[in-house]
């Protein structure tokens, strides 16, 4: 009959197998971090950032316009209010999406650093 020692050995074996399965994913994340590091500071990347920042500014401007309509005490037309709510939500989603695109290289580098540390811990 299995005892606590057998159960602990089983858990250890299972954990080792799971770590082995993670190694290819960790290596890929670690390599992606290197690519992201090389991307930052490149002139094409700087143009990309400028374009995204302009798109964010445009979406924020439109979001503010929709917000003004929503907060206008004289706005009573239900269709205009619904249109303003939809416009505000759409602009807010755009801002969040563009911001995520701006944050992506930093997120990739952070994940790569964590992956590298996990690889060193699991393999080394």
Backbone angles phi, psi at 40, to 5 degrees: -65, 135
In what helix (H) or strand (E) does residue 44 lie, and over which residues does it extend?
A: helix 43-70
CB 93 within 8 A of CB 68: no
Q: So what's the pLDDT on residue 48? A: 85
Q: Encoding tokens for residue 15?
A: 């954990």
The Cα–Cα gap between 78 and 83 comes to 8
Question: Domain range holding 100?
Answer: 4-123
In what helix (H) or strand (E) does residue 122 lie, and over which residues does it extend?
A: helix 78-123
Write down the pTM of the prediction.
Answer: 0.63
The Cα–Cα gap between 118 and 124 comes to 9
The Cα–Cα gap between 26 and 124 comes to 13
Q: What is the pLDDT of residues 103-113, one digit of tens each?
A: 887 787 787 77
Q: Is the pLDDT of residue 114 over 60?
A: yes
Q: How far is CA 76 from each of CA 10, 63, 70, 89, rounded to the nearest angstrom?
A: 67, 19, 10, 19
Q: So what's the pLDDT on residue 95? A: 96
**112 vs 99, which has greater pLDDT?**
99
Instruction: Tell me how many domains the chain contains.
Output: 1
Q: What is the pLDDT of residues 1-19, one digit of tens each?
A: 677 887 778 777 777 777 6
């Amino acid at each position: 009959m299995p005892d606590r020692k057998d159960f602990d050995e089983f858990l250890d074996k299972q954990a080792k197998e799971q770590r082995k399965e993670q190694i290819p994913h960790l290596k890929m994340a670690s390599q992606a971090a290197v690519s992201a590091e090389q991307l930052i500071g490149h002139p094409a990347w700087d143009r990309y950032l400028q374009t995204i920042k302009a798109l964010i500014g445009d979406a924020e401007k439109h979001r503010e316009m929709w917000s003004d309509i929503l907060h206008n005490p004289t706005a009573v037309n239900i269709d205009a209010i619904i249109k303003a709510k939809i416009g505000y939500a759409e602009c807010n989603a755009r801002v969040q999406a563009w911001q995520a695109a701006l944050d992506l290289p930093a997120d990739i580098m952070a994940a790569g650093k964590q992956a590298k540390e996990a690889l060193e811990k699991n393999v080394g």
